[in-house]
Amino acid sequence: MSTTAKDSSTATAVDAAGNFVFGEGGVTEYVSNFAGLEQEVAGTFSSVIFPSSLNTEEGLRPIVRFFCKGGKGHKEGTIILPAPSSFATADNAQYGDAELGFGGKLAMDLTRSATSSEGRAELQSQFEGGTKKGIDAITGTFKGIFSGDNQRENLKALGSDLTAAGTLALGAKMQGSEGKLAGIGKGVAMAIGATFNKNVTTEFTSVSTRGFSFTYELVPSTQDEGKDIHNMIAAFREAIYPAPANAGSILRYPPKWEIKFEKGVSGRSGNRLTSFPALAECYLESFSTTYNGNNSFHTDGRPVKTDISLSFKEDRTLTLDDIKELEAST
């Protein structure tokens, strides 16, 4: 009999094996006890436009707008920087080799025959070439080859009873089996000096989530811009880390970011810079800072130059419809 220990923070029980045991309210009661985990925005951070001259260069200098959506424990806010002089993106799909074997190839041909005239012609040609005879022989011979008292005679007569296509097909069926049938299948293939076509074809498996990188060299021209850089770095850095909940036993996701390339800082409709790709919501995957690469300081102690590097990753893989919808956005 398992013992259970009540957890007052979740109102659930855990058995001796560490499995959740829900009470009378079931999963609904369990979920309701985590109502405090919803992604409420924790406030806003000071929005940053760097350099400040971007405000006076409307329409003259493209910008990239990073909007942090915030969450419980994370603040929302906007950081605006010049559009990068170099921005690389890659759209990747994964393909692999799939071994269809005899049955898989036949199924593919049958499916093609039902959907295209070309496929019907190919299948007709294969059947006329002897494949149909081999399949008919399989259905009649394979069932009885190991039945009754004449198994050896049945196997001996196999070569003369079946066409070459049927022999290979039966051998392939055996080779795909386990135990003694697999050995027989190999023996059939070796005896006639042939190997079985694995029918390897290219199989689409998935697309990759896209990643994007930005690199900036930040040189403030005033003390206020130095403070802006400090606030910007703090906002990016905090967005890397998850916020704890339930006394640290649960971690909330870091916030998502909306990244938009625009013609200027106004943010008006139709301001999107269509020469750059439209991006889905992203997580900030990495953020690095190099302080004072030229070993110079302002009078208030702030570094004269700060280099930052950011890497974002979209929160999901995309489909063709997603890409069209993103590119149609304004």
What tens digit of pLDDT does each residue of 13-33 get?
555 655 666 566 666 665 555
For residue 152, name the pLDDT band (cuts at 50, 70, 90).
low
Residue-averaged pLDDT of the chain: 77
Q: How many CA atoms lie within 13 A of 101 on its CB side?
A: 11
pLDDT of residue 172 exceeding 70: no
Q: Give mean pLDDT, residues 264-293.
A: 89
The per-residue pLDDT for 70 is: 93
Residue 117 token pair: 């005239």
201-212: pLDDT as tens digits: 999 999 999 999
The per-residue pLDDT for 330 is: 72
Sheet bearing 48-49, strands edge to edge: 48-49, 77-82, 63-68, 256-262, 282-291, 306-314, 211-218
233: nearest Cα among 282, 283, 284, 287: 287
Domain locations along the chain: 1-33, 41-92+208-327, 94-204
| Pairing outcome for strands 211-218 and 306-314 | antiparallel
Q: Give mean pLDDT, residues 219-238.
A: 92
For residue 49, name the pLDDT band (cuts at 50, 70, 90).
very high
More confident call, 90 vs 186? 90
The per-residue pLDDT for 131 is: 54
The per-residue pLDDT for 78 is: 96
Task: Show Cβ contacts of residue 277 under 8 Å, excluding neighbours closer than 6 positions.
Answer: 89, 326, 327
Rounded CA-CA distance 11/29 in Å is 8
pLDDT of residue 88 exceeding 60: yes
